[in-house]
Structure 1
């Protein structure tokens, strides 16, 4: 189990670095576009679609890492008043639902990529499928990290920095 956790930790770290790099790159591209448009009175035609594509990557990769680390949104009022075993059941149920959502991202993202693979994005000159690959990649990571959380909880290991730490059994 620990080797898998180390591997998923490395995958999560790589996804987070990729997302962060994408955020910086998108910011640079948008700044360049603004400079070219308003200072040089010209335009770079590919910066906007490239920025939108990069934004898809950092949103979906960042969201997947947020799921792994336990930083995703949740409504925890009920969890303050139920026993520890009930909390663990609800956490696992939540992770199961998130896993299904990740599988849906893979399935429908792949279908969208297939349907647009023959199209060419005019300003970038690449397949339209590239717009939907971040959904598939994010779905793979969402499902992987959610299954990891379920497995860690079943093994009695903590699953996040905050939240459902198994050491606080009451």
Structure 2
């Protein structure tokens, strides 16, 4: 149940940030070349969307086995050693993700304590007026968005990465998954090339070598 919920949230967030980047970038291209205008916050927001997309996409790549890796050494050993070594690699990945989570949390907590604002992103005016317009002597002033808000993806992404590595290692241990990395793309490409070469030779034999 928890895994399915995380899957849905992960996929939805990735789709949202990818779509957001496309919409913002396209709208700014149109604004720049058609209306000779543009939004100053667009670049910073797109950068943050890209950061969220990448850091959430890392864990998604672990879940679907999309990350590239080298398993030539593992394949040289007897079959009975393959799973223990892959499990060991998974535990190393969990330790790495744990260190990254600790470091990202430490960095994010400092940003949170210092209260640094973003450069060009501000709280929308309609929200500011809804919150403060009833106060005596109210005068609108833009309020910057705290940088810890977009930077929250650092500990969040690393926590999700740790969860995915732990999940993948468990599935390998119980025999429901083979590798942490993507399939043997190089081997498949070589096998496909050999098959095409052999098919070409067979066709050439059947036609008597005539073109």
Same fold, TM exceeding 0.5?
A: yes
CA drift of 1:115 comes to: 2.1
Unaligned 5+ segments in structure 1 are 1-5, 165-170
What's the CA shift for 1:136?
A: 1.1
> Secondary structure of 1:123's partner?
strand
Aligned pairs (5 A) from 1:7-22: 7-22=2-17
Superposed CA deviations along residues 121-140 of structure 1, whole A, max 9, x for unmatched, are: 13212111134211211111
Instruction: Give the Å deviation of 1:142.
Output: 0.9
2:23 corresponding residue in structure 1? 28
Q: Deviation at 1:26?
A: 0.6
Q: Go from structure 1 to structure 2 and tell me whether the alpha carbon gap of 1:8 and 1:85 turns closer, same or farther (over 3 Å shift).
A: farther
Alignment of 1:81-100 (within 5 A): 81-100=76-95
Extract unaligned runs of 5+ from structure 2.
Answer: 122-143, 185-211
Alignment-derived partner of residue 74 in structure 2: 79
TM-score scaled to structure 2, two decimals? Answer: 0.67
User: Does 1:37 find its partner at 2:32?
Assistant: yes
Deviation at 1:160, TM superposition (A): 6.3
| Aligned residue in 2 for 1:116 | 111
**2:123 matched to 1:104?**
no
1:49 matched to 2:68: no
- 1:135 and 1:87 map into 2 onto residues whose CA distance is 33
Q: CA deviation at 1:23?
A: 0.8
